[in-house]
Amino acid sequence: MLNPYFANNGFNLYLGDSLEILHKFESEKFDLIFVDPPYFLSNGGVTCSSGRMVSVNKGSWDKSKGFDDDIEFTDRWLRACRKILKEDGSIWISGTLHIIYKVGYLLEKNGYKIINDIIWYKPNAPPNLSCKYFTHSHEILLWARKSENSCHTFNYENMKYWNNPKDKLKNKDKQMRSVWSIPLLSKAEKEFGKHPTQKPIELLNRIVNSSSNEGDWILDPFIGSGTTGIVCSALNRKFIGIDNNKEYLDLAIKRFKDKTKKDLLFSPKDNNQITKYL
């Protein structure tokens, strides 16, 4: 029997190897899956953080083992996720050029249907210290449904409302587009520590709000510091997260227990909270 590392009011964490644990869930359990997989970019390079040169290495889990091994690993978790995704469910996957094109190929190979690619533009991205290429200032998110025939959830009206909070009458018909300008982590999101690839709450807020409904089951197989779960808890979704690092799961638990973090989110139905993110 699979026992959670932590479970509280629909917020469930599992400690262990994601590929092993994924196979223990029942088929077609999840309405939505968000995956922030290893990008395989820890190659000994450097980046800029707070004005200082620092190593780009995230950890041994983020080091490439070669093209074939990286492909095999990505293919394995995509196949496992598809088995436990509901017929009308969808999956979001984040990545940079190091991994996202492999993911796109493997999504189609495994029978998924890509719906959108979203550009997450980082207006406060760190500078490029080498001056030998354009500064990396975005990531790509691929959104796919389980199959060509799946009827995926998309809360279109909510996202259109969200897109026009300051002047809803003037811009009432303006759709949310596929380029999202979202800054890197705020100070409040790092209060208890941070994961080297931690995603902003705003990013997951849009994903969960757009692609799921209250009461849905949502999975994050590489949870890190738990941003997906924090958003799900605030938005009344049932959540399962997996990570093989106890330290990161403990960080996720601290963030979950800090109820003030709900103030960082808004529902499109809550006019008063919208301005907190803009």
pLDDT in tens, 117-167: 999 999 988 787 778 889 889 999 999 999 999 999 999 988 887 776 555
| Segments making up each domain of the chain, as ranges | 6-115+141-153+184-277
Instruction: Classify strands 217-220 and 238-243 as parallel, antiparallel or unpaired.
Output: parallel
CA-derived radius of gyration, the chain: 18
pLDDT (mean) for 184-209: 85
The pLDDT value given to residue 169: 53
DSSP 8-state secondary structure symbol assigned to residue 134: P
Token pair of 241 as six digits = 């997260």
User: Could you give the CA distance from residue 73 to residue 102 in angstroms, rounded to a whole number?
Assistant: 11
- pLDDT single digits (tens) 80-117: 999 999 999 999 999 999 899 999 999 999 999 999 99
pLDDT, greater one: 202 or 186: 202
Q: What is the DSSP letter of 34?
A: E
Is residue 210 predicted with pLDDT exceeding 90? yes
226-268 residue pLDDT tens:
999 999 999 999 999 999 999 999 999 999 998 665 555 655 5
Output DSSP code: residue 144: E
pLDDT-derived band at 277 (thresholds 50, 70, 90) equals very low
Span 4-51, pLDDT tens digits: 999 999 999 999 999 999 999 999 999 999 999 987 765 655 554 555
* C-alpha–C-alpha distance, residues 174 and 167, integer Å: 11
pLDDT confidence of residue 44:
52
> How many whole angstroms separate alpha carbon 178 and alpha carbon 117?
7
Measured in residues, the chain has a length of 278
Q: β-strand 30-35 against 217-220: which pairing, if any?
A: parallel
CB contact set of 75 (below 8 Å; sequence gap of 6+) = 106, 109, 110
The 3-state DSSP class for residue 108 equals helix
The three-state secondary structure class of 47 is strand
| pLDDT the model gives residue 275 | 29
Classify strands 113-121 and 179-181 as parallel, antiparallel or unpaired: parallel
- The pLDDT score that the predictor gives to residue 62 is 60
83 token code pair: 């088995």
- For residues 49 and 270, the model is more confident at 49
Superfamily of chain region 6-115+141-153+184-277: Vaccinia Virus protein VP39 (3.40.50.150)
- Smallest CA-to-CA distance from 220 within 33, 76, 89 is with 33
* CA 202/CA 78 separation, integer angstroms: 25
* Dist CA 146 CA 244 (whole Å): 26
The confidence band for 60, taking pLDDT boundaries of 50, 70 and 90, is: low
